[in-house]
């Protein structure tokens, strides 16, 4: 198999943010030119994450939900059960992608998935993500080191949206959020990922993939990453 076609898709359940974050950093630090690209599909326990340039004033009503500083781009967002997380650990240099082009491809995959679900979704100039009638459905936050990306996409499916009311989502006061359930789509996390994956593969140029399940992201702290 051509190295550029190698993709590993790892599935997990509800996972601790800090554990997964540490695993992403570890994987990216140790990977080499022969390492396969990976997609991690999971959910998070309730957590607010604040990007590198994130301003705490965008947390307008602090709660007992933890706030974790991270190294992705962007401001503050919320993650919780019922939201699909797709972390993309890709060698952008190998795929010939610029950061802007990469973000556009992910957005397009979500837009195309929505079209297949009979929903009209759009980009918003200057505000990465995917929107439905001005309400944010999906958020993007990435980090690139030595040409390799990590972090990725969060897509609201069927979750408690109330915690978004305690922040300025992505740093935009008054920004409304939505989810697929509120747009009439009754699919679970696995079903939505199965709808989204073909569009991600098409946009990112992968011909095939292998799937596996992760029960403990700590495994990335104890193994050498193979090509």
Return the higher-pLDDT residue of 137 and 51: 137
Is the confidence at residue 225, as pLDDT, over 70? no
Q: Catalogue the active-site residues.
A: 170
Contact between residue 205 and residue 90 where contact means Cβ atoms under 8 Å apart = no
- CA-to-CA dists, residue 30 to 34, 99, 186, 221, angstroms: 11, 21, 39, 10
pLDDT on residue 1:
54
pLDDT digits (tens, 9 = 90+) for 138-181: 999 999 999 999 999 999 999 999 999 999 888 888 889 999 99
How many residues are given for the chain?
Answer: 227
**Placement of tokens 């697929």 in the chain:** 180
Is the confidence at residue 216, as pLDDT, over 90? no
d(CA 141, CA 167): 17
pTM for the predicted model, two decimal places: 0.93
d(CA 221, CA 114): 36
pLDDT digits (tens, 9 = 90+) for 43-73: 999 999 999 888 888 899 889 999 999 999 8
Residue 152 sits at φ, ψ, to 5 deg, of: 165, -120
pLDDT on residue 163:
97
Q: What is the average pLDDT value for the chain, to the nearest integer?
A: 92
pLDDT on residue 222:
45
pLDDT on residue 25:
94
CATH fold of 3-221, please?
A: BirA Bifunctional Protein; domain 2 (3.30.930)
């Amino acid at each position: 198999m051509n190295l550029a076609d190698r993709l590993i898709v790892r599935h997990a359940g509800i996972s601790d943010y800090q554990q997964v974050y540490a695993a992403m950093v570890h994987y990216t630090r140790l990977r080499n030119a022969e390492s396969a690209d990976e997609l991690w599909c999971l959910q998070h326990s309730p957590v607010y994450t604040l990007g590198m340039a994130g301003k705490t004033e965008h947390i307008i009503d602090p709660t007992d939900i933890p706030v974790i500083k991270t190294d992705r781009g962007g401001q503050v967002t919320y993650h919780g059960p019922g939201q699909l997380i797709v972390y993309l650990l890709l060698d952008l240099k190998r795929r010939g992608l610029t950061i802007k082009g990469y973000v556009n491809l992910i957005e397009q995959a979500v837009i195309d998935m929505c079209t297949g679900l009979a929903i009209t979704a759009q980009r918003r100039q200057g505000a990465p993500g995917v929107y439905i009638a001005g309400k944010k459905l999906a958020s993007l936050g990435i980090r690139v080191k030595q040409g390799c990306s990590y972090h990725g996409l969060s897509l609201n499916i069927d979750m408690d949206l109330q915690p978004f009311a305690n922040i300025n989502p992505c740093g935009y006061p008054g920004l409304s959020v939505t989810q697929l359930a509120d747009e009439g789509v009754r699919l679970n996390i696995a079903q939505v990922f199965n709808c989204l994956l073909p569009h991600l593969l098409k946009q990112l140029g992968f011909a095939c993939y292998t799937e596996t399940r992760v029960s403990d992201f700590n495994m990335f702290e104890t193994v050498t990453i193979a090509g």
